[in-house]
Amino acid sequence: MALKFAKRVADIKSSEVRELLKLTEQPDFISFAGGLPAPELFPVAEIKRVNELLLETEGQAALQYSTTEGFEPLREWIANRMNQRLQTNFTKDNILITSGSQQAIDLTGKIFLDEGDVVFCESPTYLAALNAFRAYGCEFVEVATDEQGMVLEDLEAKIKQYPQAKLIYVIPEFQNPTGLSWGLERRQQLAKLSAEYQLPVLEDNPYGELRFEGETLPSIKHFDKVGNVICTGTFSKIFCPGYRIGWLAGEEGILQHYTIMKQGTDLHSNTKAQREIATYLAQYDIDEHITKIRELYRHRRDTMLQKLDDVFPKEVQFTRPEGGLFVWVTLPEHVDVTPILQDCLAEKVAFVSGETFYPTSQKRNTFRLNFSNMPEDKIDIGLEKMGRVLRKYLEN
C-alpha cells in the first residue's frame, strides 16, 4: 500500500542548486552553481587548537544539552557586532541562536504563515527561502526590484491588493541571486511601510560582512520604530558553514514565539559548535580573518567581471556587485537558458538557471554565477567555455 504523505511534500521540489552540486563533485567540473565559501580559507589549524582548549577547559558543558536561546557569551558577541556594524540596539536577550540562518527562515514560516497567506518578496529571491515558506502553504507575490532594491511603490500597491499578506521577506545586502544591495532611502521607507501596515519584515543578511568597497549602511532594523523587523545572520560566510550556526535578532516578545517553535524542532543548536565559535572569537581576531575572505573574493569577483566583459556577447547584461558571492546575468528576453545550461554541463561547467529564483514569473532568460568558490584560472576557463556556448545560441 502506498504511503500517504502530507500535501506540503508534493508542493516542494528539490533545490536545483543541490542537484547541480551532486554533478559538480566530480573533480574536473568547474562550478559557478553553489553559494559555497572558499574552503582554503577555513581556519583549520586555529580550530584544532580551539577544539583542544575547549575540551580541556569546559568539555563536559560543551557536550551537554543547552538552553534553547543559545550560549550566552556568543549571543552577547552577536548583539554587540550588529550594534557596531548595522546601528541596531540589541542585547543578548534579543538574540536566538539557530541551526544556520536557514532555520531562522523556516521558523519565521512556522510562527507567521497559515495556509493561503501571502509573502511579499523581491523578484528574484533566495530559492531556499521559497522552499521553506512553501511548506506552510503560503502564496508568493513578487515585488518589482531595481538596482536600489525593492520598488516600494509597487510593494505598497500590492499590500493594498493583498490584505491577507503576513510577511515581507528581503535580502538588502548583496542579494541572492542578484548580488545587489539596497540604498539607504529604500531601507528607511520599508521600515515606515512595515509600521504603517503592521507587516513584519524578515531582513535576511548572510552576506553583509562581505563588502569589498563602499560604506556599510544601517540595517532596515535601524529605522524600525515599532519592532516589526526581524533580522537573521550566520557564521557560514565569515567562518565555516559546516558548524551550521546562525541567529535571529528581534524584539523579545516576538523572539519568545521563535524560541518555543525551536524547542519543538531541535531543542537547541549544537552546543559544542556554539562554544567552539565563541572560544575562537575570544582567542583570535575575526576581523583579520574576514579581511582575508574579502580580499580573495574581491579578486575573484574582479576576475569574473573582467572575463565576462571579454568573452560574453555584448547584448548580455550582468550585475557588478560591491560584495557578496554572486553575479546575476540577463540574456535577451527571447533566449531560454535551459538548453544553454545543458550544453555547458556537457562542457563540465555548471551554473544555476534563473527561473528557480522566481516563485511565480519564472523568467527563463537569466542565470546566477558564483565567484567565491573557484580559483581564478578556473573562472577564466569556465567563462571562456560559457562564452562560446552563449555566442552559438545568440548568433542563431
- State the DSSP string of 191-224: HHHHHHHT--EEEE-SSTT-B-SSPPPPPGGGG-
Give 17's contacts (C-beta < 8 A, 6+ positions apart): 33, 34, 35, 127, 352, 356
Instruction: Say yes or no: 99 and 228 in one domain.
Output: yes
Confidence (pTM): 0.95
Give the pLDDT confidence of 2-53 residue by residue, as tens digits.
788 887 777 666 666 666 777 767 778 999 998 999 999 999 999 999 999 9
Instruction: Say yes or no: 12 and 65 in one domain.
Output: no
Residue finishing a domain among 230, 263, 283: 283
User: What average pLDDT is seen over the chain?
Assistant: 96
Residue finishing a domain among 263, 283, 303: 283
Q: Is residue 202 part of a domain?
A: yes
Q: How many structural domains compose the chain?
A: 2
Model pLDDT, residue 259: 98
Residue finishing a domain among 268, 283, 298: 283
CA atoms within 13 A on the CB side of 192: 9
pLDDT at residue 100 is higher than 90 = yes
Model pLDDT, residue 28: 87
Instruction: Say yes or no: 121 and 23 in one domain.
Output: no
What CATH number is attached to the domain comprising 249? 3.40.640.10
* pLDDT band per the 50, 70, 90 thresholds, residue 376: very high
Q: Which of 241, 269, 239, 228 is nearest to 112 (CA)?
A: 228
Which structural domain, as residue segments, surrounds residue 256? 44-283
pLDDT at residue 1 is higher than 70 = no
CA 321 – CA 308 distance, rounded (Å)? 13
Model pLDDT, residue 147: 94
Task: Please name every residue paired with 232 in a beta bridge, in sequence order, or none if there are none.
Answer: 204, 248
Model pLDDT, residue 185: 98
Instruction: Say yes or no: 307 and 372 in one domain.
Output: yes
* pLDDT band per the 50, 70, 90 thresholds, residue 149: very high
Q: Is residue 2 part of a domain?
A: no
Q: Which of 4-8, 87-91, 203-207 has the lowest mean pLDDT?
A: 4-8
Model pLDDT, residue 9: 76
Instruction: Say yes or no: 56 and 31 in one domain.
Output: no
Position 320: which residue type? Answer: R
Instruction: Say yes or no: 167 and 313 in one domain.
Output: no
Instruction: Say yes or no: 309 and 174 in one domain.
Output: no
Give the pLDDT confidence of 260-296 residue by residue, as tens digits.
999 999 999 999 999 999 999 999 999 999 999 999 9
Count CB neighbours of 311 within 10 A. Answer: 17
Instruction: Say yes or no: 317 and 201 in one domain.
Output: no
Model pLDDT, residue 18: 64
Give the pLDDT confidence of 344-369 residue by residue, as tens digits.
999 999 999 999 999 998 789 999 99
CA 285 – CA 292 distance, rounded (Å)? 11
Q: Percent of the chain scored above 70 by pLDDT? A: 96
Q: Are 179 and 326 in contact (CB under 8 A)?
A: yes
Preceding omega of 43 cis (within 30 degrees of 0):
no
Q: Which of 316, 220, 258, 268 is nearest to 64 (CA)?
A: 268
**What is the residue whose three cell numbers read 581564478?**
376
Q: Is residue 1 part of a domain?
A: no
Preceding omega of 177 cis (within 30 degrees of 0):
yes
What CATH number is attached to the domain comprising 33? 3.90.1150.10
Q: Which of 14-28, 171-185, 215-229, 363-377 has the lowest mean pLDDT?
A: 14-28
Instruction: Say yes or no: 28 and 48 in one domain.
Output: no
Instruction: Say yes or no: 38 and 129 in one domain.
Output: no
Instruction: Say yes or no: 200 and 323 in one domain.
Output: no
Q: Which of 14-28, 93-107, 336-350, 371-385 has the lowest mean pLDDT?
A: 14-28
In the predicted model, what is the mean pLDDT of residues 217-236?
98
* pLDDT band per the 50, 70, 90 thresholds, residue 309: very high
Q: How would you label 257-290 residue by residue, b for 16+ Cβ within 10 Å and e otherwise?
A: ebbebbeeeeebbbbbbbbbbbbbbeeeebeebb
Instruction: Say yes or no: 330 and 250 in one domain.
Output: no
